[in-house]
Structure 1
Amino acid sequence: MSDVKSAPHIESTTLADGVTIRINDHVYIAPEHLGEPYYVGRIMEFCTSHKSKGLQVRLAWFNRPKDVINRNLADRCLLVATMHSDINLVSSIRGKCVVTHKHYIPKDQLEDYRKKENHFYYNQLYDRYIQRVYDVVPCEIVQNVPTDILEALKERYQFIIVEQGKASDLTVARRICCICQEWCSSTASVKCAACHKSYHMACLKPPLARKPPKGFAWQCALCTRQEVLASSPSDSDMSNQNDTNKNTPKKRQIRTTRSQLPKSQAQPQQQIITSTSLTSTIKPKASHSKKMSSQKIRMTNMWPFRYFGVNTNMGDILDVDDRIYPRAKSRIGPKYQANVLDWPTITNSTLSPVSETNSLSSNKNNESKKNEKKGKSQRSSSKRSIEVNPSTTSLVDECRSPEQFIVTSVRGTEDTVTCIYRPDILSDEQLDDYMNQVKKLNNVSLASHSSDLMDRALQELEQSQYHTDIAFEKMARLDQDDFNYITDWSKQEIYAFEQSIREHGHDLNYAKKSI
């Protein structure tokens, strides 16, 4: 057990050079080897230990891309966050620095930010157990989630962690089904190529079994009807257009997809979408940049991150005690385990006399083939054992009788439990007096401390309804033959028991049949 204890009463301390450090400050740590750059970490809490003299601090590490991605980047200010922490001495801190998420740095000011000394930024997180890099997304720009989930995320966490390429699906406008008015995920919904409205696949009539394959688009019934009405001319126009359309070839009526729409129709829709997305993403930057400057970071268990990727259940977000760390896909299923069918239980009633003889003969043939493949040493040892006890072959054959297929009760369950003694019926003094009287009996040649004698005394007490006089009279009439388990085994019985253990393992049901 670690001797390091948290010190919540300590919120700040002063270094040897006079710099004051506080919780959630980003600091430099002296490297282990000379010539390496300083390590960068965030102060999570201050700690104390009776083994070390100085004050200690728990740091959340930031790694450089070359340490986790094995690739040298020209940007020296870029870091990769982690959810790994260590205990270090305060004396190993070499100074303070500034680490900011890339979202809170305006794009036109990124170059000026990189030119500042002791300033770093990050937008990804590395998990050392899964050995994978994730994207870090601020909760302020998350929109495409249920309302209660979004409130829980913004209340408890500052950032969410998602797989690379999955952040765009969370930052778009919230998708709501036009039929049930509920939030719909991308996996269980379809989007109309004309009106760009979302529908649950189960809410449609008839419901969609699966999403359209790649390269195909889906169109709702209303847009399809409007397209048909717009393409079909009126009755007055039909008479005027008959003469003009005689020499012109008939055009086939096709359904236009999003990629087939004219540029004049596609551009206004794209402008509307981009304008709404820009307004929804630009507004949070102006308001939440002030919060980051005041260092009020929302955290849970001293971490501002929470995994919200493809392996997350939406309902688990509402649980405060749910794990916040990245998780991998469960390795349970047909890709990792073999699907074995349930074997039918063979009982004695299902076996005919012919099948019984065939099974016995097949067992003997299989065993003879296995014995031929064994080494000479095993053959010689088996021959010696058979020569010593030739009469035990009949006992082994009896063990292979069809009775072995009868389903018996499992040991250790309620079917095999026998009540010997129930406490809290007699007092300790009454029980001690009864046991002392039983130990003084001379009708059974058992030691006074024998467990067989004590168990039988308690069992007789249970059967006598805990009347000590009646139980003592029964114990006085017992003799050596009443203890069935105290017997001397013959050589044949010992050999049959050992042979049963060799063939069937430690299943005493087979040993009972062979002895």
Structure 2
Amino acid sequence: MAQVSITLKNGDKVKTNDHVYCSPSWTVRDGTPYSVARIMEFLPPDGVSRNTNGHISNTSDTVDTNNTKDVKGKPKESSSYTRVRLAWYYRPSDVSDRPVADSRLLLAAIYSEVCDITQLRAKCYVIHRNKISDLAGWKKRPDRFYFNRLFDPYIKREFEVIQSTDVRNLPTHIRDVLISRYEYVVAEKEVVPDLTDTLRLCNTCTEWCPHPETVQCDRCKKFFHMSCVQPPLLAKPSRGYGWTCAPCSKAHEDKVDSHEPLGGARHVTPSQTTKVKTNAPPARGRGRPRKDRGQAEKEENMEIKHFNMWPFRYFGLYTVAEDTLDPDDLIFPRAATRVGPKFQATVLPFSASESVASTSDLDERGGDATIEVLSIVNEMTEDEVAELERCKRALTSRSDLQSSVDWLTEVTHRLTEAYVAKRAFSTVNMKSPMRFEKWKKVETRYTDREWNDEEIAAFEDGILVHGAELRAVREEVGTRSIQEVVRFYGHWKNDKLREDNARIRAGLTAKPESARPLSSEISSDDEGSIVKQPTKANSSCGACRTKESKTWWKAPKGLTTNVLCDNCGTSWRKYADLNVRPIREGSVPLSKGKSAEKREGTPLTAPSAKRAKTSVSAQTPPPPAGPSSSVPHLRCMACQKSGPIGKVLKCKQCQFRVHAGSCGAVVDPGDVESWLCELCQNVKTLEASLNTNCLLCPGTHRNRKKDDLYPAPDTYLRACKPTEGQGWVHSLCSVFIPETTFSDSSRLRVVEGISTVPTNRWSSRCSLCSQTGGAVVRCSDCPKEFHISCAWLHGNKLGFEIQPVKSSRRELTTIVNFNDETGSMSPVIICKEHTISSKRVIYDICETNDGGETALQVYCQNYKQAPVSRSHALLRKAQRLDGVLNIRNSDGATVIPTPVDTKPAADPCCLKCKTTCSPLFYPFKNDFVCHRCYFQERGAEGSEDKPSCTIS
């Protein structure tokens, strides 16, 4: 079969085993860069098959994707190549959050997909690291990539990739087959030294020693099969211990018996030291010239062996070497062996007499006693089926039941039973919701009972609070089992999706013509990402800020503008590398394509000429208001800086103003005018308590009126967040107290972990308000302690600092990147009496990065997120309460309080708070106190929020 080749739209000709850029249209892939892949084969349209020789009938071996018609203008036959099978490569950023500076490094994969041939963008080159003689020169050339590891997308692990010729510790016949078929071998990192070592033979049987079954003598360095050792070894020595063979052990005992000194022998350095093996190419000598272009072209066109269209084969820890000889053996990596008791059945010895005696009392499997016939409609005549359908429709007039799977299954079952018993179909009724099942031997409901309005309301409230954590929702409902809640959740979600789809369809049909995109703004390229002429708002590149480019590309989300220049757009699509130039705060672009720093108080509409010198007493007029201002600005209560509506939100009810990123608000652009703060929204929804006293601050708020339950809207302390106990805390307090977390850090909801705040925070006295009872923190530069709200009201510096992290601790520390600084972000509070060093950078709460995220958002998303993926909210709360129950006495010993063994007839009442509802009651002054009051007396938190009652 002739070599099939196609011509891409950019003029590149590609064939099988060439590497290409692949990508669907810009709108489908949502701004992600191109994918790198290898062409495995070209395929005809779906449904068209090849002949026995692999050819497509009446189709040329060369296909031009630029033209879909022949010379006469007629379309080509449907048997043309329209699809391609691609073997994918991954970028390290696709599979890991670790930053990788090399944009040319890829991860191979044994994973393929069939894509449309029109998704191929351009040709590129990908080879193994060991085949590159000059890596620096290779990376300087465009469209060049390399790899040295393989990522398996199924078991989520990375493996080393070495050349098959480097594998030497194999029998000759297996090694020859491996080298003749595959170019590379995939293995675990710890197995590579054993594979690349010389051939290991057993010193006893002179047969090859595979890695899992081999043990090495610690003295003579010879290898043995574990079964060839006498007595046989059942397991290898533990890590840190060695093993010696019998001759070496005997020689050592004889030397000990002869009373010869052993000190020198223990520390003898072997004459031949084992050289550490490495797959890296030899270092380039100093002054050695780099490879010429001819050598580079030879490397990129180097022939690679492929077997069944793959150059890789797994030969690692869980491989049987003899399986390599089988051409149909699977080549994919494995995570564990399938040999062992875990994957084998334990079969007891069979005795015919015992088998007959033990099963004589049981029903025969497959008989009428164990099989329940659900339907035999296929055995009925047409008249009987018509009669069955008529009786089925007569059983109910409800349209929802007529389409219910449970109801239809039960009706068919009951009609079948009547047919088998030769009863008339009219004798069947559906009044009883119970049915008898042979395998359960009891009556059960064939469908759930109807949900009333109270249960539906409790279910929807639970969904709003807990999301899809259905066990927590089931606790909210209380009257339903978890199975019923799961089934109802499916029906409820389908109803919501049906309503959303109907609303979307109605919106699409009523969409005005002005809302449709203009076809003149975007060129007709198949990718749909080239912008013909950027608008005035997008007149500069979102990465490098340039204003001149021959071609403008659509930019990914998060940049200042929606376009990229030709260099940045190509670099992003091909290499996923986008060096964004940071914007200096307070800079505005000038009319001549240059940018200058905007001075404080300078009008936005001022000319680009230099400002004339003025006296100190002169004042610059403020920016003009009215028609010349495009977007009205609001002043944030947190940073006291103005911003456009949308970035700064204004509560419709209380007029509270704050940056959206500093209070965790996610608002649609159309709902900005009707936004309500958390406290005002709670008045309508009653999600949490109406008493909004902060659980982390003592007493009432300073800026609050005597009869007002809510903080004043003219301070940032108005921003409060609900807790999991339906209480409230300040947003500042929840962020700057180290022990608290959020179930949703992007919205700063719901606050968890108040019970984990240590006792010393509650017992310490605030140096600003001289009160106790709230949680305090310490100043970053002195030993003063104060409440978070007190520090805010007294003008102390609150912000975030990024500290560098050593390379040895990077894997153990969460690393963030904020405004060209990389390191560990930590919250800091500094007294206003201290002077901050000029070398110390403290980011304010509302300070944003290039992506528009505030420092508070970045910190919470990386350090304050509760582990919701590993456990649900109720389990996390129970785990924290387990730690609270361990109270220590004055001697340091752990004391577990003994609760009162109450009887159902005598319900105790708390002496202090008069409650009768408590998980446990404890003896106190010849009476009882509840769980909260008892632990408040002992100096510990007894619930997730701060107790409302105290014992004096």
What is the TM-score of this pair, normalised by structure 1? 0.53
Distance 1:39 1:336 in 2: 38
Q: Summarize the alignment of residues 357-506 of structure 1 with structure 2, pairs less than 5 Å apart.
A: 405-406=360-361, 505=439
Amino acid at match of 1:40: V
Q: Summarize the alignment of residues 277-296 of structure 1 with structure 2, pairs less than 5 Å apart.
A: 295-296=302-303
* Match in the other structure for 1:36: 32
CA contact (8 A) 1:124 1:133 kept: yes
Distance 1:342-1:72 versus aligned 2 partners, 3 A rule? farther
Q: How far is the alpha carbon of 1:291 from its aligned partner?
A: 9.5
Map Cα deviations across residues 31-57 of structure 1 (whole Å, 9 max, x no partner): 543653322111111222266976432
Distance 1:306 1:217 in 2: 33
The count of aligned residue pairs is: 330
* Match in the other structure for 1:314: 321
Distance 2:311 2:159 in 1: 15
Distance 1:20-1:505 versus aligned 2 partners, 3 A rule? closer
* Match in the other structure for 1:324: 331
Distance 2:255 2:355 in 1: 77
Distance 1:341-1:253 versus aligned 2 partners, 3 A rule? same
Does 2:111 correspond to 1:84? yes
Amino acid at match of 2:4: E
- DSSP 3-state at the match of 2:272: helix
Distance 1:15 1:175 in 2: 51
- Greater share of residues in helix: 1
* Match in the other structure for 1:169: 194
CA contact (8 A) 1:31 1:37 kept: no
* Match in the other structure for 1:274: 275
CA contact (8 A) 1:161 1:308 kept: yes
Q: 1:14 aligns with which of 3, 7, 10?
A: 7
Q: 1:61 aligns with which of 84, 88, 103?
A: 88
Amino acid at match of 1:128: P
Distance 2:120 2:222 in 1: 55
Q: 2:310 aligns with which of 303, 311, 320?
A: 303
Distance 1:168-1:502 versus aligned 2 partners, 3 A rule? same
Distance 1:410 1:274 in 2: 66
* Match in the other structure for 1:95: 122
Q: 1:195 aligns with which of 211, 220, 236?
A: 220
Q: How far is the alpha carbon of 1:100 from its aligned partner?
A: 1.0
Percent of aligned pairs sharing the same letter: 36
Q: How far is the alpha carbon of 1:232 from its aligned partner?
A: 7.7
Distance 1:405-1:228 versus aligned 2 partners, 3 A rule? closer
Q: Summarize the alignment of residues 120-131 of structure 1 with structure 2, pairs less than 5 Å apart.
A: 120-131=145-156
Distance 2:25 2:34 in 1: 9
Which structure is larger by alpha-carbon Rg, 1 or 2?
Answer: 1
Distance 1:291 1:223 in 2: 53
CA contact (8 A) 2:10 2:121 kept: no
CA contact (8 A) 1:99 1:122 kept: yes
Distance 1:326 1:87 in 2: 22
Does 2:50 correspond to 1:23? no
Distance 1:408-1:94 versus aligned 2 partners, 3 A rule? closer
Q: 2:139 aligns with which of 90, 97, 114?
A: 114
Distance 1:129-1:176 versus aligned 2 partners, 3 A rule? same
Map Cα deviations across residues 72-117 of structure 1 (whole Å, 9 max, x no partner): 31110100112222333444333221111112224xx323322222
What is the TM-score of this pair, normalised by structure 2? 0.31
Does 2:178 correspond to 1:150? no
CA contact (8 A) 1:176 1:182 kept: yes
Q: How far is the alpha carbon of 1:125 from its aligned partner?
A: 1.6
Amino acid at match of 1:261: H
CA contact (8 A) 2:212 2:317 kept: no
Q: How far is the alpha carbon of 1:251 from its aligned partner?
A: 7.7
Q: Summarize the alignment of residues 199-238 of structure 1 with structure 2, pairs less than 5 Å apart.
A: 199-224=224-249
Q: How far is the alpha carbon of 1:154 from its aligned partner?
A: 0.9
Distance 1:231-1:292 versus aligned 2 partners, 3 A rule? farther
Distance 2:317 2:206 in 1: 24
Amino acid at match of 1:11: V
Amino acid at match of 1:123: N
Return 5+ residue gaps in structure 1 as ranges: 1-7, 234-249, 283-288, 352-403, 413-486, 491-500, 508-515
Distance 2:344 2:230 in 1: 38
CA contact (8 A) 1:31 1:39 kept: no
- DSSP 3-state at the match of 1:111: helix
Query: CA RMSD for the aligned pairs?
Result: 4.5
Q: How far is the alpha carbon of 1:186 from its aligned partner?
A: 3.0
CA contact (8 A) 1:59 1:87 kept: yes
Distance 1:144 1:409 in 2: 56
Amino acid at match of 1:302: M
